[in-house]
Amino acid sequence: MLEDDPQSAYAKAAFNIRKYYWKILKVEHEPRVVTLADFADRDIGTEHFLIAQKHGISTAFAAWSRDGGKPSGPIQHSYPGLNDLEEHLSKIRKSKRKGRCLHFDAGSRCTHIVDAHSIQKNGALSLIAENGKVIAPSRNYTDFRQNQGTIALSLQGIGKVSTFRGFCAAHDNDVFAPIDKGPVVPTREQVLLYAYRSICRELFIKEYSAVLYAEQAKQLPPDSVVHELLDGMRMGTEIGLKSLQYHKQVFDECINERLFSKMCYVLFCTGQKPNVVFSGVIYPDFDFLGRQLQNLADYTKPWGLLAFSFVPLEEGWGLLLSWHSTSSGACIPFMQSLATRIHEKGDGGEFLFRFVIAGCENMAVNPTWWSSLSDDQRTAIEHTVFHGADVLKMPRADYLAAGLENVAAWNFEKVISQMEPET
């Protein structure tokens, strides 16, 4: 198993064994770190080590007959997977294409649903595109399968990158005009709208993810471990969706009543040429010092939410982190821990790049910059992007503390902050 911690390695190994409907009675050896040298002169060990290095996992079974019969040599063994997954993904994609307007005042007049860019096409994607294309996470099932079930990055046209059919043309134009018609100042209204767009995109994705998991689970026997996993993913998605719906309602009321005073933010500004653009939201569970900020296993109240976006400035670009004051309990300590790490190391760009890559799959990368990276650097970025989406991986408290050093070389010369609401 290619993993960076023993708990995740065991969870994935146990899951793969249970896919055969086998029951684990005893574990002879706990997970431990091994190298190729450990498998020297050990039958098929070297072969399977190399397979695991390439594909993330390799499985070999040793068995014996109850009657003491003659053993046979190694044989290939397949296990049941999802039936016709591409067919079900196709159904979900068609359903998503219909879309719906998420505006709080949506009604019968919202007939023209558009492909709304959660990352601005003109103000962000066009800044890093080459011949109209960027590197972005693929939504193609074939790429997902070829990449061993992990997120794959591929060259794509900016017309479709980061889009979601979550607004009609009228509401998309009217609501987001203060951020789409020019650079960020920033005003608290602009701060709110960047966060609102990220929240709506995340809500839209989660709604259809819950449907997808339920549809996939229906194709499997109820007692299969994959059915159990998909059902758990559906339940987790629905819990996250409930919290998103709460935050969207808070933002809806702010927009409807034009009350922007409770928006808080920190804007990191740079004159550098951008190499990555992004937009996303997280529920900060751990801070940059590895301290727990909120327990995401506690479903009794909405979790504090932090939005982050690439924003175009009059000169250069900025990384905007924003939240409503109702989320200050988690977001202010999160920002304070970032300030502590910057004070210790004097390099905020490294921590912010790691945060963006670890917290966001809604991103796009400049093709030339991507090509300039080493194979190891590209692999590290892909693994970090996938980290948050890997449901069998144990969460790490220190995931923001280290990793992806000396990759992006972000350097922010100026910081603008309003971490308290206006009175």
Cα–Cα distance between 16 and 14 in angstroms, integer? Answer: 5
Q: What is the pLDDT of residues 18-43, one digit of tens each?
A: 887 888 888 888 898 998 888 887 77
pTM of the model: 0.86
Q: Which residues contact residue 360 at a Cβ distance below 8 angstroms, ignoring those fewer than 6 apart?
A: 278, 279, 280, 282, 308, 385
Residues 303, 334, 324, CA angle at the centre, nearest 5°? 50
Residue 423 lies in a domain: no
Q: What is the pLDDT of residues 381-421, one digit of tens each?
A: 988 887 767 777 777 889 998 889 989 999 999 999 999 99
Residues 282, 285, 200, CA angle at the centre, nearest 5°? 20
Domain boundary pick from 17, 47, 79: 79
In 3D space, the residue among 259, 248, 278, 251 whose CA is nearest the CA of residue 361 turns out to be 278
The H or E element spanning position 201 is: helix 188-218
SS (H, E, C) 220-260: CCCCCHHHHHHHHHHHHHHHHHHHHHHHHHHHHHHHHHCCC
Q: Are the C-beta atoms of residues 130 and 366 closer than 8 Å to each other?
A: yes
Residue 373 region, left (φ>0) first, then alpha (ψ -120 to 50), else beta? beta
Q: For the residues 321-335, what does the mean pLDDT come to? A: 98
Domain count, the chain: 2
Cα–Cα distance between 294 and 287 in angstroms, integer? Answer: 10
135/178 same-domain check:
yes
Give the range of the structural domain holding residue 352, as residue numbers without chain letter.
Answer: 85-418
133/49 same-domain check:
no
Amino acid, single-letter form, for residue 353: F
22/90 same-domain check:
no
Q: For the residues 353-363, what does the mean pLDDT come to? A: 93
110/50 same-domain check:
no
Domain boundary pick from 26, 54, 79: 79
